[in-house]
Each structure stands twice: as structure tokens, then as C-alpha cells.
Chains A and B, each alone.
Chain A
Amino acid sequence: MSGMAGLLPFARPPGRPAPAGRGERDVVLRMAGVGVCDARGLAVRDVSFTIADGEFVALVGPSGCGKSALLAAAAGLAAPAAGIVERFGRSDPGRHAEFGLLFQGDVLFEWKTALDNVAAGLVFRGQDLDRARAQANVWLARLGLAGVALRHPGELSQPQRRRVHLAQVLAPSPRVLLADDPFATIEPNARLALEAQLLRLWNERPRTVVLATRDVQQAVALADRVLVMAAGPGSRIVADIAVSLPRPRDVAEVRLAPEFARTVREVGDWLRLELEKADA
């Protein structure tokens, strides 16, 4: 039970609804005592948390602490080795139609145009091609990609490919977006633009987001709540920190707020502690 007990000392600031237990917002994702294995063994051990509908939660941890494995378990791509994963109150195994996963690497279908890549999720769900393409066009325009709709991924820049993937995952309108360090490989300036875009989309239609990242500033700038993971292997969650920055936010402006600096420092302290423990 170290997971739940470990969360309690980190009090939420007053006025912020606790995601669990209040009953006014649906619990979208609940993990209880979850352990996940990856190729190297037990990546995550005894993780417990609850995420409410509409919450933007960041999952921060050192490289290789099992963030990806945890998200895969949440997405239903991998069965947890231990514990319970509940999505919308049910612990059915496998993929959930309301969960979208933004992958870390290049996962676009190279043989399809940007348009058909975005339409793919709708087509897979049985929509006819013309309507799916019409919807995909709207998504491409929303992400500033209207001009490259008919290009193949091989002809796009890396930030453009990330945008296409974002549109692809959002096009079927999942209620929950799991994002596995999606902008890790993008150079910093383009990354800021992508963060801004993600935030803008979220402002237009707030949905639940679980963003795994190694970038503390990104986590604090975007999320309502930051969960800090211990260094792997056998990682667990060591801190649950609320971000009390007002919304709507601007990813560049928000970084100038004193509250931002304070929260980044708090999360950074936890991370440093974990890294020192891992080195010791």
C-alpha cells in the first residue's frame, strides 16, 4: 500500500478538487498497486493513482523509469503484471475505444498520405472514406497542415510528422489522451510551438490528458498535476504535486510566473532526490 500512502502527505492547495473520492467528476483512470514488466524486467512496481475526467496530468521521471510501460498498461496495449487498471470504472483488459495514445517514435503509416494517416483511425472504426477524409481535413487545417495533406510522411519535416500523428490520434475524438513523451526528439523551439498547439487544442476542448515526459518545465507549463516517478527499475510514484497556475495558459508566458518557477523547483527537487538515490 506504499503507493496510496505515499501520495497522502502531498496536500493539494485549497480550492482544488481532489480527483478521487469527491464523486462530482468521473474517474477516468484508476491504477491500484500496478506493476508493469518490460523487456528488462519489472519496470514499474506498485503504482497507484486516480485521474478524473478533464484533468491534465503529467507523469515525470528519469529516463527509463517505466513511463512508457505504465502508459502502455493504461492504454491496454500491455497487461499489468500486478494490480488493477480501471478505465471508466471497468477493469476490462485490452484496448479502450475512448483512449488515444500519442507515441514517442515515428509511427505514421509511411505508405499513406498525411490526410489518409489522419483519416485512418476513423476508417478503422468503420467510417466511410469520404467522410473520414473530410473530418481529417478539418484536423489538418486545425494543426496548420492543410498545405501538406497529400504528402507522404517521408516528405514531411519531423515537427510536421509529430503534428500529423497528433491529428491522427485526436481525429477519432478519444476522451482520454495518453501521450508518451511525444515531443522528446524535437528541437526546443519547435517543441515550444508543439506544446502551444497541444494546449490550444486542449483549451478548445478540454479532455483528460496523461502526458509522460522527462521535461519538468513542459510538465509544469501544461499540466494541472505532476506525478513524479522514482528512478527505475521497479519504479513507483513518489510525489503528487498540484500546479496552481491559472488557465487558459500560454506556454511561453506561463514560464515567467513565480508560481511556475516554484513548482518547477519542487518537481525538480523530487527528481534530483530520485536520481541521487539511483546513483548511490
Chain B
Amino acid sequence: MPDAGRWTRRLAHLLLAGMVLAAWEAVVAAGAVDPVLLPPPSAVALRLAQWAGEPEPYRDLAVTAFEVLMGYSFGGLFGGLAGLALSLVPRLAAGLLDEADTVAAIAPLAAAPLLVSWLGPGVGSAVGLAALFVGLASLVEVRRSLLGLDPATLANARMLGAGRFALLRHLLVPVAEDRLLATLRPAVRRATAGALICEFLGAQAGLGSLVLRSTQAWDAAGACAAVAVLAGASLLVDGCLARTERRLAPWRRPGGRAHDTPLFRPLEGG
């Protein structure tokens, strides 16, 4: 991609965003909307500048980041292990994968109030829900990637003398690990969603609770500023993950795994 084209496009994006903000500012300034319900961008910017000098927003940001990190770690670990364990039971529940996808996306959301009632509102339930979100998805992903492992590659390992343990250590775990790394970014997004939902259900700290507290205090500018912080932090983290992803699995070529490319599929027959 030529660099010049990229920068032109970036500039266009910035211009567009500036125009939207200016229009928003104008609408509020003209009195068309009540600033208590929809604060002008200038008020939001002012609030952000004010927060930069206060300790409390940093604490909220740190709490949410901690919840996401812990949720992702626990969820990825236990979900991945469960997916591996399932693969040791041959073909068990292989047909349930599609249903499992749906369950993994919806069930944790519905289970949020239950989780809060068990663990109490706060960091514990936020970590729990984030882990649940990530764990179920990881389980499904790992299970799917292991079912998709080429039988000929498995047979090759067996012919080379791999026993059960060697298969696990040299084939199943690397494939599972790779799948977890490949789904790192969506998993972190899921963990963030899980943590925020729990914070909305009455936590005392975190960016979600900051949104909630601001709204309850009729401070729409504060709520919008919190959303802006959240969006900015998410973009930053996502960008960093995209960069590390490429370094963590150097054997994966850009655009997919080597043996996903049809060009290198073995010919059938013989």
C-alpha cells in the first residue's frame, strides 16, 4: 500500500470527524437539543482536559484494564484447557460446535445478573463475567481448530513415533495456542464487554461505573467523556495487539495459515 494514499485517507477521516463534531457543536449551540441530554463536544473535551489532572479517572481506567486482563487470562487459560481436554475424548460433541457458538455469545450475557448476585458487584464479578465470555469462546475456537487438524499431519506424527503425550505436546497444544493467539483481539473485545456489563450492574469503580455514575448525576458530558476514554483505550490496545500478534506466530503468513491456502493442498488420488 503506498504511504501517500494512506495518509491522504487518514486526513480525509480526520476531516470527516471534524465536520461531524462541528455540526454537533452547532446543533447544540443553536439550542435545538438540551445540552443536559446531549452535551456539546466542547464540553466533553473540557471534561477530558479536567480529568487529565485528577486521579479518579485513572483509577477507573486501571480497574477496567485489570478486569479485562484477568478475565482474558483466566478465560483463555481455562477455555483453552477445556477445549484440549475435550479433544482427548475422540469426536465427543463434535456436532455441537455450531450450537456452542451461539451459546458462547449469548449465555454469559444472560448470566450476568446471576453472577453479580453470587460474587457481589465489583471487580470479582466483572473478572468472572469477562472470563466466562472469553472462556466459552476460547473453548469453541480451540475445539474447532483441533477438529480441523489435518489427519495426514497427525498420521505423519504417529509414523514418526509420537505417542499420546508427544501428540498433545507437539501437535495439539501448539495448534490450540495458535488459535488462542489468532483470536486474541476478538477475545479482548469480549472480555471488555463482559467487564463493562458487570460494572453497569452496580460496581463502584471502572469506566463502566464512571459512565453510570455520571449519568445518574445528570452529568452527560462526564458520561460522554468516559465513553471517549473507553473508545480511545480500546483502539490503543487493539492496535498494540495487532502488532504483537504478528510477532507471536512468525510462521503464520499474512492472510492466513500456510495450509489454508488452496495452492498448497495435496492432490487427491493415488
Interface residues of chain A, those whose CB is within 8 Å of chain B, are: 63-64, 67-68, 75, 77, 95, 97, 99-101, 103-113, 120-121, 123-125, 152-155, 158, 168-169, 172, 180-181, 184-185, 212, 214
A124 contacts B157, CB within 8 Å? yes
Closest to B253 in A: A154
B178 contacts A111, CB within 8 Å? yes
Point out the residues of chain A lying under 8 angstroms from B251, CB to CB: 110-111, 113, 152-155
C-alpha spacing A158/B258, complex, angstroms: 12
C-alpha spacing A77/B150, complex, angstroms: 15
Total residue contacts A-B, CB cutoff 8 A: 102
A158 contacts B264, CB within 8 Å? yes
Point out the residues of chain B lying under 8 angstroms from A152, CB to CB: 250-251, 258
A212 contacts B270, CB within 8 Å? yes
Known contacts A152-B250, A154-B253; A106 and B259 CB within 8 A of each other:
yes
Q: How far is the CB of A260 from chain B (nearest CB, A)?
A: 23
Contact flags (1/0) for B243-270 with A, using CB distance below 8 Å?
0000001111100011100001111011
A169 contacts B160, CB within 8 Å? yes
Query: Which are the 8 A-B pairs with shortest beta-carbon distances?
Result: A105-B266, A154-B258, A152-B251, A121-B160, A107-B156, A124-B161, A124-B162, A111-B174
C-alpha spacing A209/B145, complex, angstroms: 35
Interface residues of chain B, those whose CB is within 8 Å of chain A, are: 150, 152-153, 155-163, 166, 170-171, 174-175, 178, 249-253, 257-259, 264-267, 269-270
Point out the residues of chain A lying under 8 angstroms from B162, CB to CB: 120, 124
Known contacts A103-B152, A152-B251, A154-B253; A185 and B270 CB within 8 A of each other:
no
Closest to A165 in B: B156
A107 contacts B170, CB within 8 Å? no
Q: What are 13 of the A-B contact pairs (CB < 8 Å)?
A: A63-B270, A75-B159, A95-B158, A103-B152, A105-B266, A109-B170, A109-B171, A110-B257, A110-B259, A111-B249, A111-B251, A154-B258, A169-B159
B166 contacts A104, CB within 8 Å? no
Point out the residues of chain B lying under 8 angstroms from A154, CB to CB: 251-253, 257-259
C-alpha spacing A22/B203, complex, angstroms: 86
Closest to A181 in B: B270
A109 contacts B153, CB within 8 Å? yes
B159 contacts A101, CB within 8 Å? yes
C-alpha spacing A158/B259, complex, angstroms: 12
B158 contacts A77, CB within 8 Å? yes
Point out the residues of chain B lying under 8 angstroms from A67, CB to CB: 270
Known contacts A109-B171, A154-B258; A172 and B152 CB within 8 A of each other:
no
Given B155, B257, B258, which contacts A77 in the complex, CB threshold below 8 Å?
B155
Point out the residues of chain A lying under 8 angstroms from B156, CB to CB: 101, 103, 107-108, 168
A104 contacts B258, CB within 8 Å? no
Closest to A153 in B: B258
Closest to B175 in A: A111
Point out the residues of chain A lying under 8 angstroms from B253, CB to CB: 154-155
Closest to B158 in A: A95
Known contacts A107-B152, A152-B251; A97 and B159 CB within 8 A of each other:
no
B170 contacts A123, CB within 8 Å? yes
Known contacts A124-B170, A152-B250, A180-B270; A97 and B264 CB within 8 A of each other:
no
Point out the residues of chain B lying under 8 angstroms from A212, CB to CB: 270
B160 contacts A185, CB within 8 Å? no
C-alpha spacing A123/B251, complex, angstroms: 21
C-alpha spacing A104/B251, complex, angstroms: 22
Closest to A154 in B: B258
Point out the residues of chain B lying under 8 angstroms from A97, CB to CB: 161
Q: How far is the CB of B33 from chain A (nearest CB, A)?
A: 55
C-alpha spacing A168/B162, complex, angstroms: 13
Point out the residues of chain A lying under 8 angstroms from B264, CB to CB: 106, 158
C-alpha spacing A185/B264, complex, angstroms: 9
Q: Told that A105-B266, A124-B170 touch, could you supply 10 new A-B pairs with CB distance under 8 A?
A: A95-B159, A99-B159, A107-B152, A110-B257, A110-B259, A120-B160, A123-B166, A124-B163, A172-B160, A180-B270
C-alpha spacing A108/B161, complex, angstroms: 14
Q: How far is the CB of A139 from chain B (nearest CB, A)?
A: 13
C-alpha spacing A113/B174, complex, angstroms: 13
Interface hub of A105, A152, A185, A212 (most chain B Cβ within 10 A) = A105
Closest to A97 in B: B161
C-alpha spacing A68/B175, complex, angstroms: 27
Point out the residues of chain B lying under 8 angstroms from A180, CB to CB: 270
Point out the residues of chain A lying under 8 angstroms from B259, CB to CB: 106, 110, 154
C-alpha spacing A105/B258, complex, angstroms: 13
Point out the residues of chain A lying under 8 angstroms from B157, CB to CB: 109, 120, 124
C-alpha spacing A105/B152, complex, angstroms: 8
